[in-house]
């Protein structure tokens, strides 16, 4: 990351230089605005400009205006550094065209904000663009116009070739000429992207055309283009539109990652790493409906550690947590990929095992019991009791259980397994009790 730092305060400039270099940035420092502008005009290539609000020879806003007028710097990110955290000043700076506003602070407070700023700019530079253009000369001119952004540009001559590239590689933006030869035109490619059923359906597309007509513009936008430019291309305009679209895609990807993380956290038990009962409520009804429709057996197990309260009382809760983590791992090693294993609560675990009949279910429960009894957990010899309920429904071809019925049948199946668990506890623990039913009460 190459940074131009413009700050007349020597001490503050030194601090900022140190922080930037500690993040791996190459820093070009200037005490005056004219020095920085001259360096940029002479060909200094930077990815980011940091400018202090107060300079001895010009205001920061004047420097920003002149940076924008410098060739190849029209879309260069320019960040204002100020010690004034007043909201009107920040809004005025952003309205004036600064990319961001960075508040001066002690080094330990400033460092994380500076790190985040650099990370955003680095992510922007790593953008990958797929350029779909049948004219090699036009493609070369477009790539040259985008070069100052530091993004990687790949060129495809035909729309069908672009579709193949999209299947094989990850891109942040597609730039497509609306008029392409062959069976699939640029507009057809746009429609093909938007009709997908995966994340690529929302990939930003910048269309460009030599026809600056209202009907064509409306058609491009109707087909799903995020933006468009007309030929001959204005390099500054192209860079600005490309930067905005790549930034949009990166933000969308970040939101998706955060959403996926939240979804995982919502259905994951923090202690054991297993799924929690909410995932059972989500996936269980699907298995119930499949069993109902095809007459396939469906087995539920409730497993409980024997005398677990004594572990916490005698060895402490940290040891108890270690026991639960090791038990979860041992159970995980014993289940099939299609089985649903969850921590149901406390020291109790639930399993839902599709297509597992009575004989096989009993043997599987016994293997689980032995897997715990034969080896210590966190250095302690412990046992488990297991209640098993095997449901063998009569086939109902063509019939479908409603969502409410499926959820009620799942609850009934778990209640049946829980009752078998209580009988195992009452019979002396460290054993399995199996019930086989053809009808499950709706609970």
Answer whether residue 374 shows pLDDT above 70: yes
Q: How does residue 152 score in pLDDT terms, banded at 50, 70 and 90?
A: confident
Model pLDDT for residues 47-92, shown as the tens digit of each residue? 889 999 889 999 999 999 999 888 777 778 899 999 888 888 888 8
pTM of the model: 0.60
What residue ranges in 157-257 does DSSP mark as E strands?
Answer: 173-177, 205-209, 227-230
Which of 124, 153, 169 is the endpoint of a domain?
124
Answer whether residue 377 shows pLDDT above 90: yes
Q: Please tell me the predicted confidence (pLDDT) of residue 398.
A: 61
On whether residue 247 sits in a domain, the answer given is: yes
- 279 and 428: one domain? yes
On whether residue 442 sits in a domain, the answer given is: no
- 40 and 158: one domain? no
Q: Please tell me the predicted confidence (pLDDT) of residue 124.
A: 63
Answer whether residue 338 shows pLDDT above 90: yes
Q: Please tell me the predicted confidence (pLDDT) of residue 182.
A: 86
Which of 78, 107, 124 is the endpoint of a domain?
124
Q: Please tell me the predicted confidence (pLDDT) of residue 262.
A: 84
Answer whether residue 127 shows pLDDT above 90: no
% of residues, the chain, pLDDT over 70: 98
Looking at 44-58, 252-266, 357-371, which range is the least confident one? 252-266
Average pLDDT, integer, range 367-395: 94
Answer whether residue 399 shows pLDDT above 70: no
CATH number at residue 102: 3.40.50.2300
- 350 and 374: one domain? yes
**212 or 290: which leads in pLDDT:** 290
Average pLDDT score, the chain: 89
Q: Distances from the Cα of 268 to the Cαs of 247, 288, 302, 341, 400, in angstroms?
A: 31, 22, 18, 11, 30
Q: How does residue 419 score in pLDDT terms, banded at 50, 70 and 90?
A: very high
Answer whether residue 333 shows pLDDT above 90: yes
What is the length of the chain?
A: 443
- 359 and 373: one domain? yes
Model pLDDT for residues 201-227, shown as the tens digit of each residue? 999 999 988 777 777 778 888 889 999
- 283 and 427: one domain? yes
Residues 96, 61: contact at Cβ < 8 Å? yes
Answer whether residue 380 shows pLDDT above 80: yes
- 163 and 242: one domain? yes
Quote the domain boundaries for residue 51.
2-124
- 35 and 109: one domain? yes
On whether residue 341 sits in a domain, the answer given is: yes
On whether residue 267 sits in a domain, the answer given is: no
- 117 and 136: one domain? no
Average pLDDT, integer, range 299-325: 96
- 90 and 166: one domain? no
- 372 and 284: one domain? yes
Which of 71, 94, 124 is the endpoint of a domain?
124
On whether residue 269 sits in a domain, the answer given is: no
How many domains does one find in the chain?
3
């Amino acid at each position: 990351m190459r940074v131009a730092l413009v700050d007349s305060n020597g001490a503050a400039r030194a601090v900022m230089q140190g922080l930037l270099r500690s993040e791996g940035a190459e820093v070009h420092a200037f005490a005056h605005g004219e020095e920085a502008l001259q360096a940029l005009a002479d060909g200094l290539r930077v990815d980011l400009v940091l400018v202090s609000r107060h300079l001895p020879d010009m205001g920061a806003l004047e420097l920003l205006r002149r940076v924008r007028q410098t060739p190849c710097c029209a879309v260069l990110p320019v960040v204002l550094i100020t010690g004034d955290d007043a909201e009107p000043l920040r809004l005025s700076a952003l309205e004036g065209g600064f990319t961001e506003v960075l508040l001066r602070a002690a080094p330990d407070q400033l460092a994380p904000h500076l790190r985040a700023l650099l990370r955003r700019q680095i992510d922007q530079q790593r953008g990958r663009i797929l350029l779909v253009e049948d004219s090699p000369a036009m493609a070369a001119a477009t790539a040259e116009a985008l070069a100052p952004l530091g993004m990687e540009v790949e060129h495809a001559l035909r729309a069908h070739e672009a579709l193949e590239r999209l299947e094989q590689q990850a891109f942040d933006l597609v730039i497509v000429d609306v008029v392409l030869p062959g069976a699939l035109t640029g507009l057809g490619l746009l429609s093909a992207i938007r009709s997908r059923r995966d994340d690529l359906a929302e990939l930003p597309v910048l269309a460009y055309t030599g026809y600056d007509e209202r009907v064509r513009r409306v058609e491009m936008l109707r087909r799903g283009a995020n933006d468009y430019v007309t030929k001959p291309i204005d390099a500054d305009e192209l860079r600005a539109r490309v930067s905005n679209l790549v930034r949009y895609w990166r933000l969308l990807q970040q939101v998706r990652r955060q959403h996926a993380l939240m979804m995982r956290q919502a259905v994951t038990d923090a202690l054991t790493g297993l799924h929690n009962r909410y995932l059972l409520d989500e996936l269980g009804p699907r298995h119930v409906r499949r069993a109902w429709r095809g007459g396939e057996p469906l087995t539920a197990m409730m497993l409980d550690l024997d005398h677990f309260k004594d572990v916490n009382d005698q060895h402490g809760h940290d040891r108890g947590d270690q026991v639960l983590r090791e038990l979860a791992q041992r159970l995980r090693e014993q289940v099939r990929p299609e089985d649903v294993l969850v921590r149901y609560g406390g020291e109790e675990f639930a399993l839902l095992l599709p297509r597992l009949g009575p004989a096989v279910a009993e043997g599987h429960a016994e293997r689980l019991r032995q897997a715990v009894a034969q080896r210590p957990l966190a250095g302690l010899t412990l046992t488990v009791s297991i209640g098993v309920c095997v449901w063998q429904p009569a086939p109902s071809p063509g019939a479908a259980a409603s969502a409410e019925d499926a959820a009620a049948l799942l609850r009934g199946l778990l209640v049946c397994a829980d009752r078998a668990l209580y009988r195992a506890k009452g019979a002396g623990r460290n054993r399995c009790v199996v019930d086989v039913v053809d009808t499950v009460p709706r609970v």
